Structure 1
Amino acid sequence: MSTRSELVIQDLVKAVREVLWRHDVTFEEYRAAVGFLMKYTKGPEFEVPLTCDMLFNATISDIEMKHRKGSISNLEGPYFLEAVPEIADRIKTRGEQGDELIIEGRVTDLAGNAVEGAQLYIWHSDSQGFYSGFREDLPTDLYRGRKVIGPTGAFHVRTTMPAPYTIPHDGPSGELLGFLGRHPWRPAHVHFKVRAAGFVEHTTQAYFAGGQWVDSDCVEGVRPALVHEPEERGGAKVLKINFVLDPA
């Protein structure tokens, strides 16, 4: 009996061969493609996972939802960090940069019951599109935090609006985007991860309606159900989002 790895690899090879036949790819084109792939061996380590995430991560998230009934999952991205400060009701930001953003909602099970004790991780870029912990001038206690959910399941967190940013595009990943006629921009978004005993870990993102690049995300991660229209409250934008967890 074939292993799962064998079946997947065989189908991948078959699919590539079918594409080569369909487009009558020449030997010169084939060698050029191999030469392009060799650029990854000379580039930074992150280039291979970057390209894989750029092309396939969103699809894997969609496939996961075939087996879930709770909230829609989405990309984790490369900027998640385990060691982040526990927060009460505010994420620490740098000064007063960026418009204020309030994030509120509930964490529940499929029946609507609060999931007390769930760990809600929130992280996003600063107003310039940079992530803390990945720049020397942005320590890891900024623009990210972990909220412990109480008995009602509700949460209310203040932070600032994130900004669009480009993925690294001065290497082969960016060159590949050029071949595809695509830009390197991601729309502004907030990342979430929810962990709770007895439940499947939930990872997702929230995007903002009308935001730049929402309709042409370079990693094709935006899904209609994840695009939110923030309310206005006291000069702040309010993102209302609930997380419904699937049982483990």
Structure 2
Amino acid sequence: MTATHSPTAAASGANATERFKSDKFAGVEGTPPERVSLLAREVLEAVHATIRKHKVTYEEYNALKSWLISVGEDGEWPLFLDVWVEHVVEDVATEHRQGNKGTIEGPYYVPDAPEQGARGSIPTRDNEPGTALTWTGQVTSTTGAALGGAKVELWHADADGLYSQFAPDIPEWNLRGTFTTDDEGRFEIHTVRPAPYQIPTDGACGKLIAAAGWHAWRPAHLHVKVSAPGHELLTAQLYFPGDEHNDDDIASAVKPELLLAPQPSGDGETIEYNFVLDPAL
């Protein structure tokens, strides 16, 4: 592992919180009170059952209360929920699909990354660290039809495990791009191989990790969102074989279907990975 530097919890948490509040909440407006009551009551009942089962003490309760306050003060609710809860929501939301498997979005997605065409390079700094990576693929429907004009949004961490717009001194759109497939649904992307990284550990989430004796590592991965008219949006992360944390990812987001198969090529690597999208319900 080489990526040991990470943005502060406060800085990345504040950015993720503000972005989440601005573009995510509208989707649940108008939820019936009965649905809200059902979910809230069952979550609380699960907490109550844990307290009774394990005879939680007042000292432990007060420590939990203090820690929950810290999660909010550090702006880490998006990080906490995306790392330890989102993978189950994703499983439930996509269990009906016949096409590609997806996984969590994570807290670092930014919409409207610059368009690069069907064949292009993701924006990078001069001499961007990392092994050159060329990715070719095709987007099709479960019907077998090629999906020309499909969007492949790609973003990933740099060689230090940092994301643009969530860490200082990185250009706004570094390692973020949108690619649009050609008439045959094909694309070719030039980027660099990302590094494994630790999630921020200097805030409340880090305190939980330390207290529980867990690790904070995520395996190296490429984030994607793939979309086409009349089809369901696919959100996924693609992983590299041999990473020591593929089997114990802190976010529990790795699936066998999401593992890549890089091949050496010149001074870099090539990968081929295709997407099959489900028609919209």
Matches within 5 A, 1:16-165: 16-41=47-72, 43-45=73-75, 47-87=76-116, 88-96=119-127, 97-165=129-197
How far 1:2 sits from its partner (Å)? Answer: 7.2
Q: TM-score, normalised by structure 1?
A: 0.92
How far apart, in 2, do the equivalents of 1:136 and 1:34 lie? 32
Matches within 5 A, 1:195-234: 195-234=227-266
Query: Does the residue aligned with 1:203 lie in a helix, a strand or coil?
Result: strand
Q: Which moved more, 1:5-14 or 1:28-37?
A: 28-37
Identify unmatched segments of 5+ residues in structure 1. Answer: none
Kept in 2, the 8 Å contact 1:184–1:218? The answer is: yes
- The corresponding residue for 2:13 is none
Amino acid at match of 2:40: I
Kept in 2, the 8 Å contact 1:120–1:193? The answer is: yes
- The corresponding residue for 1:3 is 34
How far 1:134 sits from its partner (Å)? Answer: 2.5
Residues 1:14 and 2:45 are matched in the alignment = yes
Identify unmatched segments of 5+ residues in structure 2. Answer: 1-31
How far 1:34 sits from its partner (Å)? Answer: 1.5
How far 1:67 sits from its partner (Å)? Answer: 2.1
How far apart, in 1, do the equivalents of 2:193 and 2:259 lie? 15
Q: Which moved more, 1:127-136 or 1:184-193?
A: 127-136
TM-superposition CA deviations, 1:99-152 (whole Å, max 9, x none): 111111111100221111111101111122111223342213321111111111
How far 1:54 sits from its partner (Å)? Answer: 1.4
How far apart, in 2, do the equivalents of 1:218 and 1:3 lie? 34
Query: Does the residue aligned with 1:3 lie in a helix, a strand or coil?
Result: helix
How far 1:206 sits from its partner (Å)? Answer: 0.2
How far apart, in 1, do the equivalents of 2:99 and 2:224 lie? 14
Matches within 5 A, 1:168-207: 168-207=200-239
Number of aligned residue pairs: 246
How far apart, in 1, do the equivalents of 2:274 and 2:44 lie? 41
Query: Does the residue aligned with 1:22 lie in a helix, a strand or coil?
Result: helix
Query: Does the residue aligned with 1:170 lie in a helix, a strand or coil?
Result: coil
How far apart, in 1, do the equivalents of 2:98 and 2:237 lie? 17
How far apart, in 2, do the equivalents of 1:89 and 1:16 lie? 49
**RMSD in angstroms over aligned alpha carbons?**
1.7
Q: TM-score, normalised by structure 2?
A: 0.82
Amino acid at match of 2:243: G
Kept in 1, the 8 Å contact 2:112–2:178? The answer is: no
The share of aligned pairs that are identical, in percent, is: 38
How far apart, in 2, do the equivalents of 1:44 and 1:155 lie? 40
TM-superposition CA deviations, 1:139-171 (whole Å, max 9, x none): 133211111111111111111110111211111
How far 1:65 sits from its partner (Å)? Answer: 2.3
How far apart, in 1, do the equivalents of 2:164 and 2:226 lie? 20
